[in-house]
């Protein structure tokens, strides 16, 4: 579904990603872990098409298309979804109105007729029940005055509404307590199926207790330095990132 080859990217001339290779197939859950500053969020942003990040080398193939050639909204149209680490606030624009616009814009991209108010509302009620989210949150301006947990739940709710093929969760657990993590993770798990894929970007292993990955990759200094199964996450939890750093540094002869 997603094939990343030798991806290099920089911000304001500073190289952050130094050659990433990663392949994700339908039905899989991958986790990318790594210490702060390793390039995890950069990878998520590059995949979503943030223009501050300049791709200097490499390719990303997504559903047979060159992902890097697509505008951010086209990537969304193709079913790529990024749950933001810091969801933005838009004063005065209600969450419902925002989601309705997004749903219909994506439908338009796919050549489908827009949902009418009744159909949209029906779908929304269904997903609200599924994600355990209340009407009051959705009537408020987008993310404005939301708590950290509310913002993240809102991200996963949008994911449910937009039904992506490839979902990237960027530090969705950061700033959440364990109960909030459980709620968010349950939401994500309900959306998993054999046709879609999830990429979880996280610093801590704890989210992976709830969203169990098929593969775990460790990102350090702009490269994937180690890949494995969910046990790798546990090992990291136990030994800390230093053991990776040591391994890498030894390997590179530093």
Partner 1 sequence: MKTDIASIEKESPKNEQSAIEDVVLNEYKYGFVTDIESDSAPKGLNEDIVRFISSKKNEPEWMLEWRLKAYRHWLKMEEPKWANISYPPIDYQDVIYYSAPKQKITPGSLDEIDPELRKTFEKLGISLDEQKRLTGVAVDAVIDSVSIGTSFKTQLAELGIIFCSMSEAIQEHPELVRKHLSSVVPITDNYFSALNAAVFSDGSFCYIPKGVRCPMELSTYFRINAENTGQFERTLIVAEEGSYVSYLEGCTAPMRDENQLHAAVVELIAMDNAEIKYSTVQNWYPGDKEGRGGIYNFVTKRGICKGDNSKISWTQVETGSSITWKYPSVILKGDNSVGEFYSVAVTNNHQQADTGTKMQHLGKNTKSRIVSKGISAGVSNNSYRGLVHVGKNAANARNFSQCDSLLLGDKCGAHTFPYIEVKNNTAIVEHEATTSKIGEDQIFYCNQRGIDTETAVALIVNGFAKEVMNQLPMEFAVEAQKLLAISLEGSVG
Residue 254 binds to partner 1 (criterion: CB under 8 A):
no
For the segment 24-43, give every residue that binds partner 1 (CB under 8 A).
none
Closer by beta carbon to partner 1, 162 or else 234: 162
Query: Are the beta carbons of 181 and 188 closer than 8 angstroms?
Result: no
Pick the closest to residue 172 from 160, 181, 161, 164 (CA basis): 181
Instruction: Select the residue interacting with partner 1 from 5, 10, 59, 104 (CB under 8 A).
Output: 104
Name residue 184's beta-bridge partners. Answer: none
Q: How far is the CB of 137 from partner 1 (least distance, A)?
A: 14
Output DSSP code: residue 49: T
Ordered DSSP codes for 101-138: HHHHHHHHHTTPPPPPHHHHHHHHHHHHHHHT--HHHH
**Please, are residues 217 and 20 in contact by the beta-carbon 8 Å criterion?**
no
Instruction: Confirm or reject binding of residue 120 to partner 1 (CB under 8 A).
Output: yes
Binding segment toward partner 1, per CB under 8 A, in 16-24, 117-125, 145-153, 241-249: 117-125
Q: Which residue has the tokens 């959440």?
A: 176
Q: How far is CA 159 from CA 81, 153, 156, 243, in A?
A: 7, 10, 5, 35
Does 71 help bind partner 1 (rule: CB under 8 A)?
A: yes
Checking DSSP bridges between strand 166-170 and strand 14-24, what pairing results, if any? unpaired
Q: Which is nearer to partner 1, 168 or 225 (CB)?
A: 168
| Cβ nearer to partner 1, comparing 58 with 114 | 114
DSSP 3-state assignment of 81? Answer: strand
Q: Is 204 in the site for partner 1 (CB under 8 A)?
A: no
Dist. CA 244–CA 57, nearest whole Å: 26
Name which position in 49, 187, 213, 222 contacts partner 1 (CB under 8 A).
Answer: 49
Q: Which residue in 11, 27, 35, 50 binds partner 1 (CB under 8 A)? A: 50
One character per residue 153-172, x = contact with partner 1 (rule: CB under 8 A): -----x---x----------
Q: Which of 8, 30, 40, 100 binds partner 1 (CB under 8 A)?
A: 100
The CA-based dihedral angle spanning residues 42, 231, 240, 46, taken in that order and rounded to the nearest 10 degrees: 0
Rounded CA-CA distance 161/144 in Å is 20
Contact residue for partner 1 among 1, 31, 67, 81 (CB under 8 A):
81
**Please, which residues have CB within 8 angstroms of residue 179's CB and are 6 or more apart in sequence?**
none
Query: Which residue, 162 or 180, is less far from partner 1 as judged by CB?
Result: 162
Question: Any contact of residue 119 with partner 1 (CB under 8 A)?
Answer: no
Of positions 66, 116, 126, 195, contacts partner 1 by CB under 8 A: 116
d(Cα 211, Cα 83) in Å, to the nearest integer? 15
Residue 129 binds partner 1 (CB under 8 A): no
Q: Which residues bind partner 1 (CB under 8 A)?
A: 48-51, 71-73, 75-77, 81-82, 84, 87-94, 96-102, 104-106, 108-109, 114, 116-118, 120-121, 135, 139, 141-142, 158, 162
């Amino acid at each position: 579904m997603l094939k990343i080859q030798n991806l290099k990217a920089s911000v304001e001339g500073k190289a952050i990603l130094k050659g990433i290779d990663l392949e994700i197939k339908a039905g899989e859950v991958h986790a990318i872990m790594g210490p702060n500053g390793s390039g995890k969020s950069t990878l998520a942003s590059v995949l979503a098409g943030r223009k501050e990040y300049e791709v200097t080398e490499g390719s990303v193939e997504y559903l047979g298309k060159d992902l890097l050639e697509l505008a951010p909204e086209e990537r969304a149209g193709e079913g790529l979804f990024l749950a933001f680490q810091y969801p933005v606030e838009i004063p005065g624009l209600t969450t419902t109105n925002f989601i309705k616009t997004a749903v219909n814009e994506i439908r338009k991209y796919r050549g489908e007729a827009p949902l009418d108010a009744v159909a949209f509302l029906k779908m929304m009620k269904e997903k609200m029940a599924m994600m355990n989210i209340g009407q009051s949150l959705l009537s408020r301006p987008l993310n404005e005055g939301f708590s950290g947990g509310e913002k993240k739940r809102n991200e996963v709710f949008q994911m449910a509404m937009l039904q992506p093929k490839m979902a990237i969760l960027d530090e969705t657990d950061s700033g959440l307590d364990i109960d909030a993590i459980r709620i968010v993770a349950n939401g994500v798990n309900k959306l998993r199926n054999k046709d879609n894929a999830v990429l979880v970007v996280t610093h801590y292993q704890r989210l992976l207790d709830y969203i169990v990955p098929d593969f775990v990759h460790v990102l350090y200094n702009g490269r994937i330095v180690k890949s494995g199964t969910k046990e790798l996450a546990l090992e990291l939890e136990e030994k800390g990132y230093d053991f990776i750093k040591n391994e890498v540094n030894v390997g590179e002869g530093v």
